[in-house]
Structure 1
Amino acid sequence: MAGVITELAVAGRRFIDTRRRRRAGQIEPAPDCARFKLRMQALLDQAPAGLIAKARWIDMPANAAPWLDSGVQLEPNDVVSWFVCGRTWASKPLDVWVSPALQVWSRIGNDGDLISASRNSHSVTADRAGTLQFGNYFPNDWADKHGNTMNPDTVYRSLKGELLILVIRWQSDALTGLKALQQSGDVDGWLAREIERLELGPQRPSGWNQLWHIPDNEIYRACQTPDGAPAICCHTHGDVGIIQHDVDFPFVPSTQIDWRWIVETLPSTIREDAVLSHDYLSIAIEFDTGKDLTYYWSSTLPVETGYICPLPAWKDKEYHVVVRSGSDGLGEWHSESRNLYADYQRHMARSMGGSPQRIVRIWLIANSVFQRGTGDCSYAGIRLSDGERVLSVL
């Protein structure tokens, strides 16, 4: 894990780079939520009779702890859409912020399951009676699937920003309602994007599940290698996603993992072992101890560099190992083979402890939240073996 000097050096570089981009007009402007509200309300006022059961605007400070009651009461099978305008700032001088898609989660009633959105808009059919509630996520983490938090509410105090939420409860289904409302126009493509999301449906590769306490995303999709083999393609830009495949495999001295991948674009151009630059693409192995070992391609750190995850919420459970570094080989397919037992003993045994007996999941991780860069890669041929058994995962 990076020390204080490394963290300060990365912060200094981010500050200089942000000033340069600001002078060059390359900083992405914050959304104009006043304009959004004015124009969207005009569409609501023109909505055909019988289309909308209820519409409500809600202001939510970015530093408010969960949960905020929207005042919109739902009954089972009611259909509701919401649109969130705004930005949550971790640091304006460093241009570190998260989008509403990452920040704003929801639930129905105090005991409802968490609902995460892959875009700044979302639509659901209520599975229970209760009011629709909204809660800020970053920089906290969820302790359970009902929205209790891991850390005290004070972690939100350093954040800046305002979030404006429009909630629409439809008389019919969301797709019908959105298309009918769109007949009167659109506001910077907000309606079109939610229509597109609903028509696309789930994009997650078959057999892979989203890690429940990480925001929903559209990062991963099933694809093929040039020779027609099954693959998973990954594209990340200013978001984060982890998908998992359940396995049950012994962890013994001969256990190894093999995979093929092509990394076309790395989401970071600076060392990834500091919080403000912890953007990367990786494949990870979760053990029955709850800890995971993740292999990634670094932009600058030497091969075989290992470190505990710098993110506070992950420092007790994740370890990173660099398997490739630099730009050489980007855009080409590579085959990897790692002895998991040897890597665990070398990198994790002393610093993270535990005595794993089984491998329980394979993960794919993509993060580009901190620098809002772009990462592109594809995975294929993932398998576990120990000399006696072979388990093909992809």
Structure 2
Amino acid sequence: MPSLLTDLSVASQLFLRATGRRLKGQQAPAPDLEAFREAMDPLLQGIAPGVIKQTAWLDMPANQPPWTHSGVTVDEGDDVSYFLAGQVFASKALDLQFQPSLQVWCRAGDTGEIFRGTRDSHSFKASQGGPLYFGNYFPSTWQTPQGELTTDTDVYKGNQGLFRILVIVWSERAADGLRALLGTGKEPRLVDELARLEQGDTAPEGWKYLWHVGPAEIFREGHSGDGSTPCIHCRTHKDVGILQHDVDQALTPESEIRWRWCVNKLPSTLREDTLPSHDYLSIAVEFDNGRDITYYWSATLPEGYGYDCPLPNWKGIEYHVVVRSGKQGLGEWLDERRNLYKDYKKYMGEPPPRITRVWFIANSIFQRIEGSCDYADIHLEGAKGSVRLL
């Protein structure tokens, strides 16, 4: 594990990087919340009667713990859209900020399940009636699907920023309402949300996103460069996603995972074993004790290096092992094979009985650098044969 000196070294590099962007005028301007409202209000006022049931505007400070009443009450089955503008800083000095789509979660009703969108707009059908709530995510995480936290609410005090949220409850289908609203003005947010709805879920068949991290548009089915091999494309930029495939296999001394991947671009230029630089692409295996081991390509750390996850909410759960390092081999299809039993025993202790899931992880929320990778030919090998996942 990195020392305090290492943490300070990474933080100082991020500080210098952020300072350089500010001095060069390369820092993106703060979102204009007034312009957001001024763009949307005339469209709402110009729409034909009967298309919209109700609307509400909500300002939610980034340091406010969940959950905040939106001022809207929905009926079960209502189609609802919301639109976001704003930002949250975990540290302005280090320019650690998170996208609104990652930070702002939603819940319909007092006992409804929480969710978020993949973009700064989202449309959904209310699964139950009741008040519509919004809540901040980082730096905590969810303990239950109803939005209970894993931490005390005091952790939100360090956040800086503000979100402005527009909520629209439609009389009919959200897609029809968006088209009607577009008839009053070609607002890009509406175009983007309608395109997202028409696109649908992009998760590869048989895979699903981990619920308490949330959905994404990071992973898609595809083929390798020559078109001959089915693969899963991974593209991440300022977002995070954990894609999971259920399995049920005994963990024995013969247990191995093998895969092929072509890593084109790493989402980090720094060592990844500190919290503010923990951006990476990996394939992971989860066990029936709730822990997982994740294999990734590091920008700087040596092959074979292992460490417990530096994120407080994942410490003691996820363990990282570097299988490749540096720039050599980027852009090439490479074969990998790891003995899961031996790796668990070496890095984590006494192996548990069973393997329960295989994951893909992509994180680029801290340094906000684009990362890309393709995966193919994923197999779990065991004493009773091989299971092909891709």
TM-score by length of 2: 0.98
Partner residue of 1:342?
Answer: 342
| Residue 203 of structure 2 is aligned to residue 207 of structure 1 | no
* Equivalent position SS for 1:161: strand
Partner residue of 2:81?
Answer: 81
Distance 1:149 1:238 in 2: 23
Partner residue of 1:220?
Answer: 219
Partner residue of 2:47?
Answer: 47
Q: What is the correspondence of 1:58-73 to structure 2 with a 5 Å cutoff?
A: 58-73=58-73
Partner residue of 1:114?
Answer: 114
Partner residue of 2:193?
Answer: 194
| Residue 375 of structure 2 is aligned to residue 379 of structure 1 | yes
Distance 1:341 1:274 in 2: 27
Gaps of 5+ in 2: none
Contact persistence 2:252–2:383 (CA under 8 A): no
Distance 1:206 1:295 in 2: 23
The one-letter amino acid paired with 1:198 is L
Distance apart, 1:29 and its partner CA: 1.9
The worse-fitting range, judged by mean Cα deviation, of 379-388 and 301-310 is 379-388
CA deviation string 1:70-91 (max 9, x = no partner): 1211111111100011001111
Q: What is the correspondence of 1:243-282 to structure 2 with a 5 Å cutoff?
A: 243-282=243-282
* Equivalent position SS for 1:157: helix
* Equivalent position SS for 1:87: strand
Distance 1:380 1:8 in 2: 38
Partner residue of 2:105?
Answer: 105
The one-letter amino acid paired with 2:216 is N
Distance 1:127 1:36 in 2: 28
Percent of residue pairs bearing the same amino acid type: 49
Contact persistence 1:217–1:241 (CA under 8 A): yes
Distance 1:327 1:375 in 2: 13
* Equivalent position SS for 2:348: helix
Partner residue of 1:128?
Answer: 128
Partner residue of 1:13?
Answer: 13
Contact persistence 1:2–1:310 (CA under 8 A): no
Distance apart, 1:345 and its partner CA: 1.4
Partner residue of 1:369?
Answer: 365
Contact persistence 2:308–2:320 (CA under 8 A): yes
Distance 2:175 2:147 in 1: 28
Distance apart, 1:387 and its partner CA: 4.7
* Equivalent position SS for 2:101: helix
Distance 1:265 1:342 in 2: 29
Distance 1:274 1:140 in 2: 17
Partner residue of 1:359?
Answer: 355
Gaps of 5+ in 1: none
Q: What is the correspondence of 1:136-151 to structure 2 with a 5 Å cutoff?
A: 136-151=136-151
Contact persistence 1:272–1:279 (CA under 8 A): yes
Distance 1:324 1:355 in 2: 24
Distance 2:3 2:295 in 1: 21
* Equivalent position SS for 2:371: strand
Distance 1:324 1:53 in 2: 55
* Equivalent position SS for 1:113: coil
Distance 1:224 1:287 in 2: 29
CA deviation string 1:265-302 (max 9, x = no partner): 00001100011100000000001110000000001111
1:64 to 1:222, Cα distance in 2 relative to 1, 3 A: same
Aligned residues: 389
Distance 1:47 1:2 in 2: 57
Distance apart, 1:53 and its partner CA: 1.1
Distance apart, 1:51 and its partner CA: 1.4
* Equivalent position SS for 2:158: coil
Distance 2:314 2:4 in 1: 18
Distance apart, 1:185 and its partner CA: 1.4
Distance 1:298 1:92 in 2: 26
Contact persistence 1:243–1:363 (CA under 8 A): yes
Partner residue of 1:391?
Answer: 387
Distance apart, 1:227 and its partner CA: 4.7
Contact persistence 2:247–2:357 (CA under 8 A): yes
* Equivalent position SS for 1:330: coil
Distance apart, 1:26 and its partner CA: 1.7
Distance 2:99 2:227 in 1: 37
Distance apart, 1:215 and its partner CA: 2.2
* Equivalent position SS for 1:166: strand
The one-letter amino acid paired with 1:83 is F
CA deviation string 1:92-127 (max 9, x = no partner): 111110111000111111100111211111011112
Partner residue of 2:242?
Answer: 242
Distance 1:309 1:61 in 2: 29
Contact persistence 1:58–1:166 (CA under 8 A): yes
The worse-fitting range, judged by mean Cα deviation, of 288-297 and 384-393 is 384-393
TM-score by length of 1: 0.97
* Equivalent position SS for 1:337: strand
The one-letter amino acid paired with 1:338 is R
The one-letter amino acid paired with 1:368 is S
Distance 1:103 1:39 in 2: 23
The worse-fitting range, judged by mean Cα deviation, of 379-388 and 57-66 is 379-388
- What is the alpha-carbon root mean square deviation over aligned residues? 1.0
Distance 2:215 2:237 in 1: 14
* Equivalent position SS for 2:105: strand
The one-letter amino acid paired with 1:365 is I
